[in-house]
Structure 1
Amino acid sequence: MPSDPEGSHASGPVPADATARAGPSASVPPGAHRGPADARDLVRARAQLLDRQGGRRPRRLDGPTLRQALVDLYDFWLTTKGHEVGITDESGFALVAVGGLGRGEMLPYSDLDLVLLHSDLAPETVSEVADQLWYPLWDAHIKLDHSVRTVPQALSVAADDLTAALGMLEARHIVGNRELSDALIGGVRGDWRNGIRSRFDELVAQSQARWDRSGEIAHRAEPDVKNGRGGLRDIQLLDALALAQLTDAMPGLGPDVPGGGLASAHRRLLDVRTELHRVAGRARDQVRAQDADEIGAALQIGDRFDLARTLSDAARTVGYSVDVGLRTAANALPKRGLSRLRRGPVRRPLDEGVVEHGGEVVLARDAAPSKDPGLIVRVAAVSAQTGLPISATTLNRLSEAAPELREPWPKEALRDLLVLLGSGRNAIGVIEALDRTGLWGRLLPEWGAVRDLPPRDAVHTWTVDRHLVETAAYASGFTTRVARPDLLMLGALLHDIGKGRGGDHSVVGAELATQIGNRLGLRPADVATLSSIARHHLLLPDTATRRDLEDPATVQAVVDALDGDPTLLQLLYVLAEADSLATGPGVWGDWKASLIRELVRRCHLVMAGERLPTPDPIDPELLRRATDGGVHVDLQPGGGQHTYVVTIIAPDQRGLLSDAAGVLALHSLRVLSASVGSEGGSAVNSFVVSPKFGTPPAAGLLRQELIRAISGELDVEDLLAKKERDQAANQPIEVGVQGVPTAYAVAPPRVLWFDTDDPEVALLEVRTEDRLGLLSRLAGVLEQLGADVRWAKVSTMGSVVIDTFCVRFGELDSRARVEAALLAVTPQPAPKKAVGPQS
């Protein structure tokens, strides 16, 4: 019965005779086609390699040795059998291996993927040779995917079928006419390179569909090491992109990164799949829980948790490489038509030493990583803020050249870390890229103990390190609910840092948080709070769900544990929600939320409550300078490498604060903190600022611009709107119906009111994410509403600002109207996308 000369790709025989479609087991006696190269010998030899014939071998073959031995065994048998049936150099036939045998990665029970090529020979001749080749393998119950084609037929199939094309890219000559094999291999690869532009979108869509079906290996209890995200199919995807000359076969990662890079990850995945075949006694791709301990022991990794950690590391390394590879490939796609005549990507400044180029964050040409220790965190913060990925070249350059941050960290580095953590879900991919390239561990050496650490509780969705980052991402959406958003985000990132070291992870974590807090340069009181967050992050949920809240002793025990600190209570309350949401579905619900809320309410009643904000004292020397009635602007270096202190002394008048803050924003000076006060008709405003690029303008220029703004010659509000529109391409900003940019925020803005002894004086606190000229806009709103700003304090913590104003209203306006006007100029959360009807 001849095989199909048209070459169906199937796992069983495809005879041309329609009456014999059931295959050899239904119509041909076993062994009818056996010859000198008996396929049963192949099976016996494979069993000996797998140590299944009584254990006579002196040692068990390790994975790489076994795979190579299997490749050699199959190559030898197929070559021998090919010569036996007449597949020689001059025969007009060639046998080509694809799949695992083609790649030289033959696993114990993988299918044989073979293509029999012929030079358009007679169908009878082709069928006779094919039958003599296929039937012995079928009789021996060896799984076989086969096809019989001419080279033009094979190239046509590859052109129409993406899966077939990817398989043929891995083709390798076994026996027969090498010119036929070379024609197929060269033709498929040439067509792949020439047609990649039209096939790239389909390739990405196919990969995404596979990831959707199989999930992420790193975060699956029973991962599919072949098809899951970060698996062996993704290695083949990278190889295909490399053959298309769009990217390196190992993009972004060399052997010196944690885990040994892509080549090491590839080998570990192959080793796990090899042992999976051995344990199961058949082909299998999914690591089942009941087999994990045996596989871990065979690979001398440890138990199933150690195996899960190894797989997570390997899969996330592959996943990062795929992200880089696809991005690099998309940028390298050959251009057609008018696009070939367009100029290349423009380098657009984003921050000091950081630019955008080709849709990626890269270093500026004059950046000096070896002389700028904070550059790593600044690049990461810019990437998270803009949503642009960091180029692999930039990460590698930083890894090679950037020095260690000194202890304590410079204030600019801490601020950039807070900006990164406050960027919501954008931070997750950035931190993953830093971690895969060894940079995150350089910033936080303690991270190594939790990296890829699998959870011990099935309710957890993520590895411990990913859970910490997920918690920080959720916490970034709650920053306006607390008075210390900086400590909330740092606490979220570090609350489980004590895991993986033995002992009570809360106790160990508190010690590590103290160590990290000191390194980051936090104040001693803040270090103590950060340590308490790690120590007590389970206190509220455990107490609320396990103790009697009606018992005063329960509440008092919580108050005593927190030393009566209402700020710490507030931080733990919000962290409990973020931690639960980051754990997994259903962990945070109405029942748990209501219990914790009631516990916190009762604790607040016992505690003394929060202190009201107070103004900073004014230096008498500055007040003395204000007596001449002129406008004075002084600019001095601040305490950090890129910070300065701008002091403005001028006659107190309505609009001064708005104009002063606006002038600073127009000159790209970010206000990090400010103290605004007045006395005896003179205003003394002090701003700690950081230039977005380079050095700040001269104090004389700032003074000149401020005088123009006060006189009305300079329209600060209009210029700020124009400047923000110009920056919209690199920021999450859209232009509204009236042409005013609308900035999107991670956390919703809030306005808090504090009553004072004077009914005409109010303290209000605006908690929101920062935007260009925010202080100028807020002050402008208050001034338009007829409020007299008596004093103000501004604090910027990463991307979150807390601006406190003490205001007196000529006519006490409704709080609701004031609040609505203030919120109108703050960044708002992005609107949720409408969800259409489900089909």
Structure 2
Amino acid sequence: MDAATDAAWSQAARERMQALDAQLAVRFDRGDATAALTAARARGIDALVREAWARCIPESVDAALFAVGGYGRSSLYPQSDVDLLVLTEQAWDHAVGEAISRCVALLWDARIPVSHSVRSQEETVAAARDDITTVTALMDARLLAGSRSAVATLADAIAPERSWPPAEYFAGKREELRARHARFDDTADNLEPNIKEGPGGLRDLQTLRWMAMRVLGATGLDALESLGQVGHIERETLENAAVALQRLRYGLHLVAGKREERLRFDHQRALAARMNRVGHADLEPADNAMVEAMMQEFYRNAARVQRIGDRLLQRFEEQLEGEAIAEPIDDQFELRRGYITARDPAWPMGDTARIFELFATWAHTPAARGLHSRTARALAEVLRNVPAYSEASPELRQRFMALLTMPGAVATLERMARLGVLARWIPAFAQVTGRMQFDLFHTYTVDQHTLALLRNFALFASSADTQRFARAHEVWPHLRKPELLLLAGLFHDIAKGRGGDHSILGAEDARVFCTAHGLSDADTALVAWLVEQHLTMSVTAQKQDISDAEVVQKFARLVGDRERLDYLYLLTCADIAATSPKLWNAWKDRLLGDLHVATRLALRRGGEDPVAAEARIAEAQTNVGLLLDGMGRNDDGMRWLPNSSFLHARVEQLTWMALQLSDMRAGETRIAARHPVAGDASLELLVHTPDRPGLFAAIVATLDRIGLDVLHARLLDAPQGQVIDSFVLMPRDSKRAVESRDVERRLGDVLSHPLDQVKPARHARPSHLRHFRIAPQIEFSEDHGRTVLAIVCNDRPGLLADIAQQLLRQRFPVHDARIATFGERAEDVFRISQADGQPLDSVAQEALRDALSTILQGDHA
């Protein structure tokens, strides 16, 4: 046949597939079962593949065509690959190769993404023996064309006695699963999870199926249930999870229009709309609530797959290795191959107290690998009978509280959460299980964030991470009842998603819970107060000037006593560090630590007025002088530090500054940068230079070009017409180290030239930020003779440099800056004035508002 005929066939085949895909998309929107849709698509591809084969491969050729992989399972999603195997024993010649190449070309021209291999039986045996992925794909092979005897030939080629016997196959696939999970940080609770490859995704379900085929010869959940390897509830749970995940994947392929397995921000709104507005041809983007509900369903299903998958891995292991010898723990429980097992097969006999006894035994058995699959199944089957605490007996409530006072209480709460017990005991926790927030600030679901916060408490108690948390391990031993902090952590975000202030709603939940569990009025009030105020210390430290004695005194009055301060400090540190891996750094550790120390001193003074500024300055100067003297250095550098700096900076920081300025002369520029904490990426920058217009704008523009984000900036007038600017910086790219010497060199070069030559860099807006729109807010107020400019808007690279450039154009000097970023949200505060040092009048404020709105509205559009 000629090329024109082939082209006509490919065009017709492409049109047939387009028509089929359009029909299947309508059926998807109508709510048809996804399994039926993927099977129908596979049948459509089957017909075209067979036609192409018949057009190109002569009947005389001794070859068989197989569908393998997902196509072999008759499961093709809209953007799935079509994997083919040609099995032949015929001697290879040029004509056969040309025929197969023509067949594949026909299919590619029809826009069918074919991947193919051509092997003999001997080559197939070798490939299967050498590669577990190959043998797995061939296990799902399905004959499309050629002699049926080839089916037996292929089955013989991949038989366990030839390649990957059950024990080796199980070990290989288990290691493959662990490595795959590790690529996703061992959690499905990511902002943009992978439906197919991520933990709890469709690949996990397939892996369990392949293991069952190889280890037990079972080809589906029916067979596994008949063999006693899964219970009826486990089977139903896996089936329902598979249906939900398959529908998500099919819908994702439709809205993405390309091969995509990640639930990216780009597609979440469109997919949520498509999943929920069945039958609507013109789909509007979904609102946040609809996206969050869709994602919550995914996270919950992924967690169920992981839980049952862990049990099945144990059962397959036992099938291969035989029943383990029991090691008694007590009269109720024993260890089998390191897993805690209930000794009575009928456990827990409908008694929830026995479930709490299991967790108590687990807490006292630190060597246990986990919970035995048999007992885990028994627990899952009676989970619905676990009462909410409000309906439980006083004795049962006491048993729960006893768990919080045992060693390893955090691990116990994690286990209860993972196995579903905590969500039954505290129904409000069930509401936030798997709940995500559609923003870039909260990296994890609410329940996973809460568990990460509790793990931070465990770090504080063990003093295991004193580099990340410099003071927390010192404060922890002062807690009167650590279990009260666990309860505050458990409830701090429990009211997310209900509407209203989650801190106030959560505090009421905590109060009811503590009262029901018999806590004293004082302990109940403490837990409820911590939940209600859990954001206050963070806001005070990051948005206010904690070197201002009035700010500290106001915070001290709110806290009231040392006990509340210690509890709130630890809760705040754990909360910030558990929100996002990128959010906690040495600067925030020091910032909160400084506020804790300053507030503790204020509380010691009781209700008296703050210590006079003069006395504080004198005390700091004396301490710096003593440190310098202890180093054998003179205090010449202190003369370049303005008195106000001794109010704002720590003694250690002031000592470093004085050392950098010890031999400086009038009119000279001195730049110094350092990593204040070993191993931390943050940088501290000191710039001491003659004051001139555009200085702040030039500095931040240069830092932006270097790839450094400003976390904090302080600008003070220094003696002899100089200024001293200090910055806390963080590399924008967490994988790229920025050397302090490089910052000093590049900034020194910029400041040695005219500043009006320094312009902000142009940045492409990161694609993921376009899904998060924050209406810009620009507010003015007056404080101590300065104008306070507060800006809330979408964050983006170069934002601070652009704002600084606008302030320069308006000729408004910047006297101080507090920079805070929360995911996609920037909240920046500047203390500015007019050129004559006076606050901005109303006309100047409106002119600046208009100028800033111009650059910020573009981010919002």
Query: Same fold by TM-score, threshold 0.5 exceeded?
Result: yes
Q: Any conservation in 2 of the 1:246–1:328 contact (CA below 8 Å)?
A: no
> Does the alignment pair 1:227 with 2:214?
no
1:293 paired with 2:269, answer yes
In structure 2, do the counterparts of structure 1 residues 367 and 476 end up closer, same or farther at CA, with 3 Å as the change threshold? farther
Question: C-alpha separation between the residues in 2 aligned to 1:80 and 1:220?
Answer: 43
Q: Which runs of 5+ in 2 are unaligned?
A: 278-285, 462-475, 608-861
Stretches of structure 1 lacking an aligned partner (at least 5 in a row): 1-27, 336-343, 609-839
User: What is aligned with 2:600?
Assistant: 601
Q: Shift in Å at residue 367 of structure 1?
A: 6.6
Once the 2 structures are TM-superposed, how far is the Cα of residue 189 of structure 1 from its aligned partner? 5.0
1:571 and 2:556 correspond: no
What number of residue pairs does the alignment pair up? 564
TM-aligned CA distance change 1:581 to 1:60, over 3 Å? closer
Which residue pairs with 1:165 in the alignment? 135
Shift of 1:193: 8.4
Distance, in Å, in 2 between the alignment partners of 1:423 and 1:220 is 26
Instruction: Describe the superposition over 1:41-93 as per-residue Cα deviations: whole angstroms up to 9, x where unpaired.
Output: 332122123329999999697744432220121123334444555688x9753
Supply the AA of the counterpart residue of 1:270: Q
Q: Offset at 1:158?
A: 0.7
Q: CA distance change for structure 1 residues 429 and 175 in 2, over 3 Å: closer, same or farther?
A: farther
Aligned pairs (5 A) from 1:59-208: 63-82=34-53, 92-120=62-90, 123=93, 126-127=96-97, 130-131=100-101, 133-185=103-155, 187-191=157-161, 195-208=165-178
AA in 2 matched with 1:284: E
Which of residues 480, 491, 506 is equivalent to 1:494? 491
- 1:30 and 1:139 in contact (8 A); partners too: no
Is 1:283–2:265 an aligned residue pair?
no
Match of 1:46 among 10, 17, 35: 17
Instruction: Quote the Cα distance in structure 1 between the aligned partners of 2:92 and 2:442.
Output: 62
Map 1:337-348 onto structure 2 (within 5 A).
345-348=324-327
Structure 2 SS opposite 1:369? coil
Q: Residue in 2 aligned with 1:833?
A: none
In the TM superposition, what is the alpha-carbon distance from 1:146 to its structure 2 partner?
Answer: 0.8
Report the secondary structure of 1:95's partner residue. Answer: strand
Give the CA deviation at 1:294. Answer: 0.7
Structure-to-structure mapping, 1:259-338, within 5 angstroms: 261-300=237-276, 303-334=290-321
Query: Which whole-Å deviations, capped at 9, do the CAs of 1:654-683 have from their partners, x for residues lacking one?
Result: xxxxxxxxxxxxxxxxxxxxxxxxxxxxxx
TM-aligned CA deviation for residue 606 of structure 1: 5.3
Alignment of 1:183-582 (within 5 A): 183-185=153-155, 187-191=157-161, 195-215=165-185, 218-245=188-215, 256=233, 261-300=237-276, 303-334=290-321, 345-351=324-330, 353-365=332-344, 368-370=347-349, 372-384=351-363, 385-386=365-366, 387-401=368-382, 403-404=385-386, 406-410=392-396, 413-418=399-404, 422-424=408-410, 426-427=411-412, 430-435=415-420, 439-479=421-461, 480-481=476-477, 482-549=479-546, 554=551, 557-558=554-555, 561-562=558-559, 564-582=560-578
Aligned 8 A contact 1:78 1:175 in 2: no
1:474: how far off? 1.4
Scaled by the length of structure 2, what TM-score is found? Answer: 0.59
Note the alpha carbon deviations across 1:156-193, whole angstroms, 9 max, x for none: 21111111111112212223322212432465254488
Q: Which moved more, 1:496-505 or 1:348-357?
A: 348-357
Q: Residue type of the partner of 2:579?
A: T
Contact 1:389-1:430 within 8 A present in 2 as well = no
Task: State the shift of 1:397 in Å.
Answer: 1.2
Contact 1:63 1:275 in 2 (8 A): no
Q: Is the 8 A contact 1:216 1:230 kept in 2?
A: no
Give the helix-richer structure, 1 or 2.
2
**Separation in structure 2 between the aligned mates of residue 607 and residue 354 of structure 1, nearest angstrom:** 54
Q: Which has the higher contact order (CA 8 A, sep 6+)?
A: 1
In 2, Cα distance between equivalents of 1:497 and 1:247 = 45
How do residues 612-761 of structure 1 correspond to structure 2 at under 5 angstroms? Answer: none
Supply the distance in 2 between the matched residues of 1:107 and 1:147 (Cα, whole angstroms): 21
Alignment of 1:736-815 (within 5 A): none
How far did residue 507 of structure 1 move?
0.7
Evaluate the alpha carbon distance shift between residue 428 and residue 95 of structure 1 in structure 2; reply closer, same or farther with a 3 A threshold: farther
Partner amino acid, structure 2, of 1:267: V
For 1:266 and 1:512, the matched residues in 2 are separated by: 35
Q: 1:283 to 1:448 in 2, by over 3 A?
A: same
Structure 1 residues 366, 255: closer, same or farther in 2, change over 3 A?
Answer: closer
Give secondary structure in 1 for the equivalent of 2:116: strand
The Cα offsets for residues 317-366 of structure 1, whole Å up to 9 and x where unpaired, read as 3333443333333343358xxxxxxxx52322335522211221111227
Q: Counterpart of 2:14 in structure 1: which amino acid?
A: V
Change (3 A) 1:85 1:373: same
Over the aligned positions, Cα root-mean-square deviation in angstroms equals 3.7
Code of the residue aligned with 2:492 in structure 1: it is: H
- The CA distance in 2 between the partners of 1:571 and 1:236, in whole Å, is 46
Shift of 1:401: 3.9
Go from structure 1 to structure 2 and tell me whether the alpha carbon gap of 1:320 and 1:125 turns closer, same or farther (over 3 Å shift).
Answer: farther
Return the alpha-carbon distance in structure 1 between the equivalents of residues 26 and 309 of structure 2.
Answer: 41
After superposition, the Cα gap between the structure-2 partners of 1:177 and 1:432, relative to the gap in structure 1 and judged at 3 Å, is: farther
Q: Is the 8 A contact 2:491 2:531 kept in 1?
A: yes
Q: Deviations over 1:711-741 (max 9, x none)?
A: xxxxxxxxxxxxxxxxxxxxxxxxxxxxxxx
* Aligned mates of 1:488, 1:114 — CA distance in 2: 58
Match of 2:768 in 1: none
The 3-state SS of whatever aligns with 1:114 is: strand
Q: Letter of the aligned partner of 1:418 in structure 2?
A: L
CA 1:576–1:414 in structure 2 vs 1: closer, same or farther (change >3 Å)? same
Which residue type is aligned with residue 298 of structure 1?
R
1:152 counterpart letter in structure 2: E
With structure 1 as the length reference, what TM-score do the two structures score?
0.60
After TM superposition, give the deviation of residue 124 of structure 1 in Å. 6.0
Q: Residues 463 and 606 from structure 1, CA distance in 2 versus in 1: closer, same or farther, beyond 3 angstroms?
A: farther
CA distance in 2, matches of 1:346, 1:184: 40
CA pair 176-363 structure 1, distance change in 2 beyond 3 A? same
Is residue 252–residue 260 contact of structure 2 (8 Å, CA) maintained in 1?
yes
Give, in angstroms, the shift of residue 139 of structure 1.
2.8
Tell me how far 1:428 sits from its aligned partner: 7.3
> Per the alignment, in what secondary structure is the counterpart of residue 165 of structure 2?
helix
Instruction: Flag the 1:118–1:288 CA change in 2: closer, same or farther, 3 A.
Output: same
How many Å apart are 1:545 and its aligned residue?
3.0
Deviations 1:478-522 (A, max 9, x none): 345211111112222221111121110001101111232244343
Aligned AA (1:540): M
CA distance in 1, matches of 2:40, 2:541: 60
1:583 maps to which of 579, 584, 597: 579
